[in-house]
């Protein structure tokens, strides 16, 4: 049975996040390619967003007018989005085992052409999803004037894209308080630690100077995440940026905080160990 | 020609670049956070002082490269073609080409054979864009060794250049003796019945198709066009005159792509029937490279079928109307990517979930 979307306790949400992590491992080991690190590290954010009563969505009616929308700007992290959507009841969980396969609705990077329920936009070229989310938030707030909110998640390496800052400038310019971006701040990207590849810090000061409301929190702590999303909803006149400090690969000891796990799947043996660490045998 | 194993063209690029670094200390390399997969890591290890990590910022890296070039350096910037041909297209047009800046771009993960990463990463429109840019040299090497030679060649020439390479292992069939000169096509197989003109690893598919055709007494000339711009128009016009029918093959969109360039050269000089093997105005998708090459009609069989079609058209046996994007004959058109729910029907997935739930309950 899918998990309901209500204000579960932080402990319950942590348990849901653990199931999301298991499903990430289960789907990646069958896919034999794909990204482990970012998806595992951000599972708590997804559990809280989709099953913590934060987003207003209906898995039975994914195109519900006036719904809150989520855009995965870091498209490569889609294994976590797919696992979350399946656990929230958007589509069958067994479909997770088709990840990246020929003809699957679970494309290597989200593809809107495959009409997977819950996928609001194709993404995969870093930076672009954030601007799409700004456009959606403008549509909701400035044109339709409804109460819908738009969430977008970016990687921290992704913040190196110049277009990110164009999106941020425009969200603040229009005072989009229905817009909430989450930075998955795992400090890792493909070639190494983020400051070694191209420094992005300090982050808080950057976003504040762009006129964002900034919340920093432990992105692997469901209680802190719930509080952060509450604060974002209560913020008026400004968009919010939640800087969620996470560990890449969180939940699997041999992947934790290792940038080498950005873009590879576990082998069968590694998946076994990972699943055991996550409390199940398969 | 025969193969002697297989290796991805990206290794040719990486090794060629490391060798260039040895020869010319003006060579500098810019990284875009995927240095391992496009093999600029080899240069980085040898010449750390001439390697600059630019983060995930392709527009800036391209324009910074122009600045380095205008300061007498020979910068190479490499990423996936999706992000260093299209994401930065305006930068390439104005800052690189209009400036005639000596910038070299290495575009990796090109074509549908990228595989499971899916449509976003399978760049198919780069050829169309890049060969329209004034001053740009565009090279699409056919195998690992040619990629190495081509990388060195673009590093030694002056002016903007782009080299397109792939992720997957593909057959190696050129040797140290195979001639390579930028802008000069090569006949890899003689024949006068039809010409197969190809670029990139599709050249090998053309050679395989030619062998099949030879069994039926059809002698196909196979021409390798590694430089799409400047295009060897003479060798193409000559093929049109001597063979009387042409099939082009590329792992890219046929609209505005390599085939279009060849067709222009043909129509200008000696119009003959032509067919085009390539991606037919559609996006790619996830799958294994083999599944995708087959689905999108990019195999030797598809070239073979197109040769049959072009010969039927030449002899007047077939003269119906056909759309630009129509490839192959009746029953042999590429299937392209499956519609959602056809390979994995939703009812079966729902049933699998039901069974799993029942097992858990038991
Ligand atoms: C425009 C663009 N450039 C490059 C890439 C290739 N790429 C995919 S993920 C990635 C690293 C992203 O780092 P980060 O955002 O920190 O994600 P994480 O590694 O933490 O999952 C890169 C360079 C891309 N998808 N899009
Ligand atoms: Mg990161």
Q: Is B350 inside a domain boundary?
A: no
Q: Is B16 inside a domain boundary?
A: yes
Query: Are B155 and B89 within one domain?
Result: yes
Query: Are B143 and B27 within one domain?
Result: yes
Query: Are B196 and B158 within one domain?
Result: no
Binding-site residues on chain A for chain B (CB distance < 8 A): 1, 31, 33-34, 75, 91-95, 98, 100-109, 111, 113-116, 122-127, 157-158, 160-162, 189-191, 196-198
Distance CA A200, CA A28 (A): 30
Put simply, the answer to whether A189 touches B285 (Cβ < 8 Å) is: no
Choice among B15, B58, B250, B251 that is catalytic: B58
Query: Are B192 and B96 within one domain?
Result: no
Q: Which residues of A touch B33 (CB under 8 A)?
A: 157, 160, 189-191, 197-198
Q: Which residues of A touch B338 (CB under 8 A)?
A: 102-103
Residues in chain A: 282
Query: What string of pLDDT tens digits covers the 282 residues of chain A?
Result: 899 999 999 999 999 999 999 999 999 999 999 999 999 999 999 999 999 999 999 999 999 999 999 999 999 999 999 999 999 999 999 999 999 999 999 999 999 999 999 999 999 999 999 999 999 999 999 999 999 999 999 999 999 999 999 999 999 999 999 999 999 999 999 999 999 999 999 999 999 999 999 999 999 999 999 999 999 999 999 999 999 999 999 999 999 999 999 999 999 999 999 999 999 988
Query: Are B257 and B167 within one domain?
Result: no
User: Phi and psi at residue B277, in whole multiples of 5°?
Assistant: -100, 125
Q: Is B330 inside a domain boundary?
A: no
Distance CA B123, CA B106 (A): 13
User: Phi and psi at residue A222, in whole multiples of 5°?
Assistant: -65, -30
Q: In what order do the strands lie in the sheet with A240-245?
A: A69-72, A150-155, A179-185, A240-245, A213-218
Q: For residue B307, how many other CB atoms are within 10 A of its CB?
A: 26
Q: Is A2 inside a domain boundary?
A: no
Contacts 24+ apart (CB under 8 A), A1-5: A1/B357, A2/A59, A2/A86, A2/A87, A2/A88, A2/A89, A3/A51, A3/A87, A3/A88, A3/A89, A4/A51, A5/A50, A5/A51, A5/A52, A5/A53, A5/A55, A5/A57, A5/A88
CATH number for the domain including A62? Answer: 3.40.50.970
Query: Are B154 and B51 within one domain?
Result: yes
Q: Is A36 inside a domain boundary?
A: yes
Distance CA A3, CA A6 (A): 9
| Ligand 1 pocket member A238 (CB < 6 A) | no
Neighbours of ion ligand 2 (CB under 5 A): A 155-157, 186, 188-189
* Full 3-state SS string of A216-238: EEECCCHHHHHHHHHHHHHCCCC
Q: Is B111 inside a domain boundary?
A: yes
Q: Is A234 inside a domain boundary?
A: yes
Distance CA A279, CA B8 (A): 40
* Prior bond of B61 cis (ω within 30°): no
Query: Are B222 and B277 within one domain?
Result: yes
Query: Are B122 and B61 within one domain?
Result: yes
DSSP states along A13-45: HHHHHHHHHHHHHHHHHHHSSS--HHHHHTHHH
Query: What string of pLDDT tens digits covers the 362 residues of chain B?
Result: 899 999 999 999 999 999 999 999 999 999 999 999 999 999 999 999 999 999 999 999 999 999 999 999 999 999 999 999 999 999 999 999 999 999 999 999 999 999 999 999 999 999 999 999 999 999 999 999 999 999 999 999 999 999 999 999 999 999 999 999 999 999 999 999 999 999 999 999 999 999 999 999 999 999 999 999 999 999 999 999 999 999 999 999 999 999 999 999 999 999 999 999 999 999 999 999 999 999 999 999 999 999 999 999 999 998 889 898 888 877 788 999 999 999 999 999 999 999 999 998 88
Q: Which of B53, B60, B337 sits opposite A191 (nearest CB)?
A: B53
The atom of ligand 1 lying closest to the CA of A157 is 16
User: Phi and psi at residue A90, in whole multiples of 5°?
Assistant: -75, -30
Q: Is B339 inside a domain boundary?
A: no
Distance CA A74, CA A42 (A): 11
CATH number for the domain including B36? Answer: 3.40.50.970
Q: Is A4 inside a domain boundary?
A: no
Distance CA A143, CA A147 (A): 11
Query: Are B155 and B65 within one domain?
Result: yes
Distance CA B151, CA B104 (A): 9
Model confidence pLDDT, tens digit, residues B19-61: 999 999 999 999 999 999 999 999 999 999 999 999 999 999 9
What is the number of structural domains in chain B? 2
Q: Which of B33, B35, B59 to mutate to test the pocket of ligand 1 (most atoms within 8 A of CB)?
A: B33
Q: Which residue has the tokens 């391209």?
A: B62
Q: Which domain holds residue B256?
A: 186-314
User: Phi and psi at residue B269, in whole multiples of 5°?
Assistant: -115, -50
Q: Is B337 within 8 Å of chain A by CB?
A: yes
Catalytic residue check, B58: yes
Q: Which helix (H) or strand (E) holds B76?
A: strand B74-80
Q: Is A214 inside a domain boundary?
A: yes
Q: Is A22 inside a domain boundary?
A: yes
Query: Are B56 and B94 within one domain?
Result: yes
What is the number of structural domains in chain A? 1
Which residues neighbour B225 within 8 Å (Cβ) at sequence distance 6 or greater? B140, B185, B197, B198, B199, B231, B232, B235, B236, B258, B262
Put simply, the answer to whether B349 touches A91 (Cβ < 8 Å) is: yes
Query: Are B49 and B141 within one domain?
Result: yes
Q: Compute CA B250 distance to the chain's CA centroid, rounded to the nearest angstrom.
A: 6
Model confidence pLDDT, tens digit, residues B83-104: 999 999 999 999 999 999 999 9
Q: Which domain holds residue A144?
A: 10-277
Q: Which helix (H) or strand (E) holds B46?
A: helix B41-46
Q: Is A21 inside a domain boundary?
A: yes
Model confidence pLDDT, tens digit, residues B166-176: 999 999 999 99
Distance CA B336, CA B318 (A): 24
Q: Is A3 inside a domain boundary?
A: no
Q: Is B324 inside a domain boundary?
A: no
Distance CA B245, CA A163 (A): 47
Query: Are B167 and B20 within one domain?
Result: yes
């Amino acid at each position: 049975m899918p998990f309901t979307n209500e204000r579960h306790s932080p402990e319950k949400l942590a348990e849901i996040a653990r199931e999301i992590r298991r499903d990430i491992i289960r789907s990646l080991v069958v896919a034999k390619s794909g990204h482990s690190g970012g998806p595992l590290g951000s599972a708590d954010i997804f559990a809280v967003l989709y099953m913590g009563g934060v987003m207003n969505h209906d898995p039975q009616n994914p195109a519900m007018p006036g719904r809150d929308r989520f855009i995965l700007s870091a498209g490569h992290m889609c294994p976590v989005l797919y696992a979350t959507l399946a656990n929230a009841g958007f589509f069958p969980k067994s479909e997770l085992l088709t990840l990246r396969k020929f003809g699957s609705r679970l494309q290597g990077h989200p593809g809107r052409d495959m009409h997977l329920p819950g996928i609001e936009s194709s993404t995969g070229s870093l930076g672009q999803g954030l601007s799409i989310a700004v456009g959606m938030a403008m549509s909701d707030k400035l044109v339709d004037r409804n109460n819908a909110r738009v969430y977008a998640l970016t990687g921290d390496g992704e913040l190196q894209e110049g277009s990110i800052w164009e999106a941020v400038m425009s969200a603040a310019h229009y005072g989009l308080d229905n817009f909430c971006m989450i930075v998955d701040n795992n400090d890792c990207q493909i070639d190494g630690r983020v400051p070694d590849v191209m420094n992005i810090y300090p982050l808080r000061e950057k976003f504040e100077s762009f006129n964002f409301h900034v919340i920093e929190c432990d992105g692997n702590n469901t209680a802190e995440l719930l509080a952060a999303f509450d604060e974002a909803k209560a913020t008026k006149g400004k968009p919010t940026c939640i800087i969620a400090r996470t560990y890449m690969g969180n939940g699997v000891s041999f992947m934790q905080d290792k940038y080498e796990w950005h873009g590879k799947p576990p082998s069968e043996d590694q998946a076994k160990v990972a699943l055991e660490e996550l409390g199940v045998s398969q | 020609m025969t193969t002697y194993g297989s290796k991805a063209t990206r290794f040719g690029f990486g090794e060629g670049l490391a060798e260039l670094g040895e020869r010319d200390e003006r060579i500098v390399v810019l990284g875009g956070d995927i240095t391992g997969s496009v093999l600029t890591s080899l240069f980085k290890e040898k010449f750390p002082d001439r390697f600059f990590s630019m983060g995930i910022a392709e527009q800036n890296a391209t324009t910074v490269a122009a600045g380095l070039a205008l300061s007498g350096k020979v910068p190479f910037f490499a990423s996936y073609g999706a992000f260093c041909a299209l994401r930065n297209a305006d930068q390439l047009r104005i800052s690189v080409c209009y400036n005639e800046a000596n910038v070299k771009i290495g575009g990796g993960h090109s074509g549908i054979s990228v595989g499971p990463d899916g449509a976003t990463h399978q760049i198919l429109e780069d050829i169309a864009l890049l060969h329209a840019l004034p001053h740009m040299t565009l090279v699409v090497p056919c195998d690992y060794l040619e990629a190495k030679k081509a990388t060195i060649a673009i590093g030694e020439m002056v002016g903007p250049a782009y080299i397109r390479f792939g992720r997957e292992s593909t057959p190696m069939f050129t040797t140290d003796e195979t001639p390579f000169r930028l802008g000069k096509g090569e006949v890899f197989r003689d024949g006068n019945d039809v010409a197969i003109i190809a670029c990139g690893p599709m050249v090998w598919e053309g050679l395989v198709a030619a062998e099949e055709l030879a069994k039926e007494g059809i002698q196909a000339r196979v021409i390798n066009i590694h430089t799409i711009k400047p295009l060897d128009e003479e060798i193409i016009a000559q093929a049109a005159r001597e063979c009387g029918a042409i099939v082009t093959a590329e792992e890219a969109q046929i609209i505005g792509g390599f085939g279009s360039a060849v067709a222009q050269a043909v129509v200008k000089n000696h119009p003959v029937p032509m067919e085009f093997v390539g991606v037919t105005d559609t996006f790619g998708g996830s799958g294994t490279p083999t599944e995708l090459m087959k689905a999108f009609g990019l195999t030797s069989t598809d070239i073979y079928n197109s040769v049959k079609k072009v010969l039927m058209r030449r002899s007047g046996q077939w003269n119906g109307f056909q759309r630009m994007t129509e490839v192959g004959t009746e029953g042999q058109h590429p299937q392209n990517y499956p519609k959602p729910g056809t390979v994995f029907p939703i009812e079966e997935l729902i049933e699998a979930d039901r069974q799993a739930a029942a097992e858990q309950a038991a």
